[in-house]
Each structure stands twice: as C-alpha cells, then as structure tokens.
Amino acid sequence: MTNHPKRRGELMPSDGSYGWTIYEPDSDSLHNLNETARAIWELCDGVTSPHEMAHAISELTGIGLETALSDVKETLRRLEELNLVRTLD
Amino acid sequence: MADTSKKVTICTPSESFGKALRLLLDDYAVRLTRHPSRGATDSDLVVWEINGAVESQALSEVSSAVSTLILADKSQLIRSVDAGCRGFLPSSASLEEVRRAIDIILDGGAVIPPELLGTLLRHVVQRRRQDAAASDVLDGLTKRERQVFWLAAEGARKEEIGKRMFISPATARTHLQNVYRKLGVHSQSELMALAARIAEFSTEEDA
C-alpha cells in the first residue's frame, strides 16, 4: 500500500549522456525513468499522497481523476518494485 | 484529421510568425490579432505569444473563456498554469511543435513540456494545499465578509456589492479590505482565482 511514498535517500539520480537515470546501489542497477515516472518519483517526499499526485496530474493534463490515480498507483507500484521508493503509512 | 470548422486565433506581436503559423494551419479557420481581447473568445483556441509581462488578470480572463496555448519564456509558465491555460510551449518552439500542440489541445488534451512536468506538479500540489487552507480560512470570515467574498468572486465591484447588500460602497470597501487581509490576496483577480479553486476543491471534497 503506497500511502505516503518516500524516495530512498541512498539513490543517485543523474542527468547525463544516458538521459535521466537513478543508480540503485543495493542491486547495482541503473534505472532510466521517463518524464512522468521521474516527476512522480520526485513527488515522493514522504508527505505527498498518491491522491494529491493524481489531483495535480488531473488538473495539469485534463485527464480524469480516476485515470490519473490509477496511473499514479501503477507507477508507484513499479517504483517500489525497483526499490526506488519506500512507503510510509 | 483537423476539423475545418474549428476557429483558431493567433495573438502575436510578430506578424511574420503569425503568417507563417497560419500557413501551417490551413485546415483551420485562423484569425491573426495582436491582442486576444479582440474577438478571441468566440474561437475554439487562442494561441498567445507573450513577449514580456502580461497581467495575470488578462491571462485569467482569456483562459477562462477559451482554451489557450501560451508561447512564452519559462518565467510565465506557472502563471499560465494557474490561470488555467491548456498548454504551454517555450518561445523557442518550432512552428511544427506549435502545430502539434494546437491539434492536441483542440482534441481535448493538454500540452506541457515534459522536462517541466515535475516542477509544475510540485507547484500544483503546494497550491492545492494552500487552497485547502484558504477554504478553512473562509470559516474565519464574518457572515457579511463571506457574502462580500462571493460577490467579489463573481466580479462585482464595491458599488455593486454595496447595492446588492444594501450597504454603502464605503462599507463594502471596508469588508473587501478585511477579506483581502484575512485571505492574503492582493487583488480581485487573485480573489476570483482563489474562489474558483475553493469551489472546485469543495466539489471534489463532496464527491
């Protein structure tokens, strides 16, 4: 459950010749996020909820709130799988 | 396929830019103007190239009436989004990029430069929190001040507020000043924008 997702502090984001990437030291992996995933990852401050993220995306892009929320949850699920965020309840 | 019945108004200080863009939009009904106030609101879309500063009120008036695509430098981005514009491109965008953005917006979408998405999302999250707080602040207004607030939100000036509330314009002005102070707004356009967001926020809360 992703109530208040938070970026893991030990990650190393970088904007270089390979595009925007995050190095995850535990698995020694380099992840390349698209702009939307990156924006959501940056919102993972441990305070902002998925609902707040979805409302903001819906307002900015004009897509429906339910669609935005579904997209946000799916992105957060993937970010958690990749060990790039952790969840604070 | 573009809809030839769609009207696009291009507002630009650059005649050559406007004419070049019009050539690319030959499948739309295109009108060129220097300022969007001249008949732009009967369009389906206003493409507004902004050089320098534009008052927030002017932005809000246009974007609340018609879908608006802003071409400007990035310093105008947040104001454009807060005013409700449907799209934003940097002034350096190519004619083809502008054309694509026009198609997207007329198709019901929005256009935001991907590299600016994170900045904008953070801003919108913060602003929505402030709006929620302001919504609570309305509870701190007196009954008369809340009446003044919603009349001003409709665009009424102090004379009209006075007339509708059966008070003098001077009293209406005093109420209005108190409302501004308590809500931390500095102009009627700010108050109107805040009221719109509070109304939207309240609707979402009720849903």
Give how far B134 is from chain A: nearest CA, Å.
Answer: 17
Inter-CA distances, A63 with A56, A67, B86, B108, B110, Å? 10, 7, 12, 9, 9
- Using a CB–CB cut-off of 8 Å, the residues of B that contact A are 81, 86, 108-110, 112, 114-115, 117-118, 120-122, 124-125, 128-129, 204
Cβ pair A53:B125 closer than 8 A: yes
Cβ pair A35:B204 closer than 8 A: no
Residue B38 is predicted with a pLDDT of 56
pLDDT digits (tens, 9 = 90+) for B5-39: 899 999 998 889 999 999 999 889 999 988 776 56
Residue A1 is predicted with a pLDDT of 44
Q: For an interface test with A, give the residue of B119, B125, B131, B201 to mutate (most A CBs within 10 A).
A: B125
Closest CB to A42: pick one of B118, B124, B204. B118
How many alpha carbons fall within 13 Å on the CB side of residue B45? 28
pLDDT bin (cut points 50, 70, 90) of residue B205 is low
- Nearby residues of B10 by Cβ (< 8 Å), 6 or more positions away: B18, B21, B22, B25, B30, B31, B32, B33, B47, B49
Find out whether A72 and A57 touch, Cβ atoms under 8 Å.
yes
CA B77/CA B69 separation, integer angstroms:
11
Inter-CA distances, A11 with A6, A19, B64, B98, B137, Å? 12, 16, 42, 37, 40
pLDDT tens across the length of chain A (89 residues):
447 899 988 888 888 777 788 998 888 999 998 888 999 999 998 889 999 999 999 988 888 999 999 999 999 999 999 999 988 66
pLDDT digits (tens, 9 = 90+) for B138-168: 888 998 999 999 899 888 899 999 988 889 9
Taking CB atoms within 8 Å and a gap of at least 24, the contacts of B53-60 are B55/B189, B56/B82, B56/B83, B56/B189, B56/B190, B56/B193, B57/B187, B57/B188, B57/B189, B59/B83, B59/B85, B60/B84, B60/B189, B60/B192, B60/B193
Taking the CA atoms of residue B69, residue B75, residue B80 and residue B83 in that order, the dihedral angle to the nearest 10 degrees is -160
Residue B198 is predicted with a pLDDT of 77
Closest CB to A52: pick one of B86, B112, B125. B125
